[in-house]
A and B are shown apart, each in its own frame.
Chain A
Amino acid sequence: MLIQQLANGIAIGSVYALISLGLTMVYGILRILHVAHAGIYALGAYVGWFSFRLIGDFWLSLLIGMAGSALAGYFVQRYLYSPLLHLPRIAPLIVSIGLFIAMEETFRIIAGPHTLTYNARVGLGDLSIGNFQLTETQILILFITGLILVILWAILTRTRTGLAMRACAMDAETTSSFGVNVNAIIAINFLLGSAMAGAAGVLIGVYDNQVWPTMGSIPAYKSLAIVVLGGLGNIPGTVLASLVVGLAETFFIGVVAIPFPRDAVAFIAMILVLMFRPYGLLGKA
């Protein structure tokens, strides 16, 4: 029973990590609260769903969903955020909120207000050992998230681009003086982060077997809470915070049965941690 809860919690937490990582990377470099990131996550789900309907192959639809999100993220950075960087930081935040609302409404108008079923199967089948059970989609989530996290870690620590990305997050101006093309690094940041959000959208679409216009609403603020919990801009902290929130939600629902929405757990965890560690779990002052 305990192991089962643990597995469920880690599965859901790893999807949170996929969404939140892009957010924390954007904050790390641009200091923007990228609320529309959740819109990009939903866009990934829609693009994935649509291509799955056309092609019928899960893996291809996942890649197309990621590509669609990555492209959208790049355009947002290039045409909406970049021109606003000299303004107070409320400006890009408000643009981001406006964009997020507009995206949700566009999904509703184009694809309809109802939920679409995303019934993708890859033929793995469920895994069950005694009482312990992992569904096929949970295995998919764990596998794909694990793979993406390893790739991200390799990029960040083993390549020159990754080194430049980490340097930009510390101090973009100084990094620029060392001859690094900061604009290109920012663009790569958005491409990577948005692709991960798109993957999360596809995975949640398949996991819940539904895609709907406002599917980004709760992740919009939950991922922000997770990012704060992990220490804004801190990548390992974000992964840790995602798992903590995923596990807390699963245990909270499994153990305590008070009629309170599970989506408030992330927020409560954030407030509690902020009281004692104002810069998040792994953040530094």
Chain B
Amino acid sequence: MMSGYLITILITVLVYAILAHSLNIITGHAGQISLGHAAFFGIGAYTSALFYTQAGVSFWVAVPLAALVAGLVGIFLGIPCLRVRDDFLAITTMGIGFVVEAIFLYIPFFGGAMGIGGINLPHWFGREMTKSEYFFLILIVFLLLLLLDRRLGRSWIGLAWSSIREDEQAAEAMGVDLVRFKVLAFVLGSSIAGLAGGFYAHFLTFIMPQNFGFGQSIVILCMVVFGGIGTRWGPFLGAIILGVLPEISRPIMEYRTLVYGVLLLAMMRFQPGGLLGEESILPKMLRRFQSHSSEKG
């Protein structure tokens, strides 16, 4: 049995890993910038929490519903801003983040500043899941998502996304439907973030608007950038390092945001590919090591 503290960190890191992974679909694969990703995380958490506490829907239905609602909101907001100039999405999503947080905070239906409490861990086999079991449940979902990511990367959709990311005009000239594939990436990323929100709400048992503000969006973006935008394992690595870092170094808690800011800045300025990006230090060292050993062998 793992200790309660350890399991809490593990689940938090895993939720962040799913979030970073979902943002990576939008930003890494399709090259579209979202600065309000925490809003969809929040929409998922609130959807699941409200269905569970108000309508008495079980966890197993509420969490998929969270993904569905976040995805629908993603369609509704994504289509108008993805139709126009590419920079608009960054600005609009930033605004969406603020507005969604304000809606949770100001409209009594969403519990206001007090948030929503009384959300429980899921039940199975006639009893409540233990935290360790919950951890493995999320782990399985995460691995399935990674598998999906691999499948998508090798499909037409993945190819269309990379072509949009590399050169939008060329992609359009080759007949790639820009709006369709951008919206697809945005909706997929949003709904996976909603799924993460559902898992998070049932783990925390208590959610507040502040959990889903602009700062949270930046934390998620930071993880993706730090690990390596567009790589499969980079966001996961970023989530592990940046998720565990504040836990093992409590004294820097005060400067946590500063560290995040400087990390984002320095990483992009000096290692724009992130830790696992193609031109970065880590893969280069790995390749050098490999070529060395193959020369000897």
Contacts and interface: CB of A to CB of B under 8 A. Distances in A.
A33 B91 contact: yes
Interface string A61-102: 000000000000000000010011001111111110111111
Contact of B261 (A31, A93, A101, A225): A101
B81 A274 contact: yes
Interface string A267-280: 10011001100110
Interface stretch (B10-18, B53-61, B264-272): B264-272
B27 to A, nearest CB: 7
Given A98-B262, A99-B265, A232-B87, A90 B31 contact: yes
Contact of A274 (B88, B165, B229): B88
A259 interface: yes
Contacts of A88: 31, 165
B255 interface: yes
A261 B88 contact: no
B265 A102 contact: yes
A122 interface: no
Contacts of A232: 85, 87
Interface string A95-129: 10111111111100100000000000000000000
A259 B106 CA distance: 7
Nearest to B87: A33
B91 to A, nearest CB: 5
Given A91-B272, A232-B85, A264 B102 contact: yes
Nearest to A94: B268
Interface stretch (B93-101, B144-152, B155-163, B235-243): B93-101
B221 interface: yes
Nearest to B265: A98
B118 interface: no
B80 interface: yes
A232 B247 CA distance: 42
A221 interface: yes
Contacts of A94: 221, 225, 264, 268
A228 B84 CA distance: 11
Nearest to A32: B87
B281 interface: no
A84 B273 CA distance: 12
Interface residues of B, number: 40
Contact of A109 (B91, B92, B258): B258
Contacts of A92: 268
A96 to B, nearest CB: 9
Contact of B255 (A90, A105, A263): A105
B265 A80 contact: yes
Contact of B264 (A101, A259, A267): A101
Most buried by B among A98, A225, A274, A278: A98
Given A33-B91, A102-B262, A261 B102 contact: yes
A146 B177 CA distance: 46
A178 interface: no
A270 B95 contact: yes
A109 B255 contact: yes
Contacts of A264: 95, 98-99, 102
Contact of A228 (B91, B214, B255, B257): B91
Contacts of A93: 33, 90
Contacts of B87: 27, 31, 33, 89, 232
A261 B100 CA distance: 11
Interface of B: 27, 31, 33, 35, 80-81, 83-85, 87-88, 90-92, 94-95, 98-99, 102, 106, 165, 214, 218, 221, 225, 229, 255, 257-258, 260-269, 272
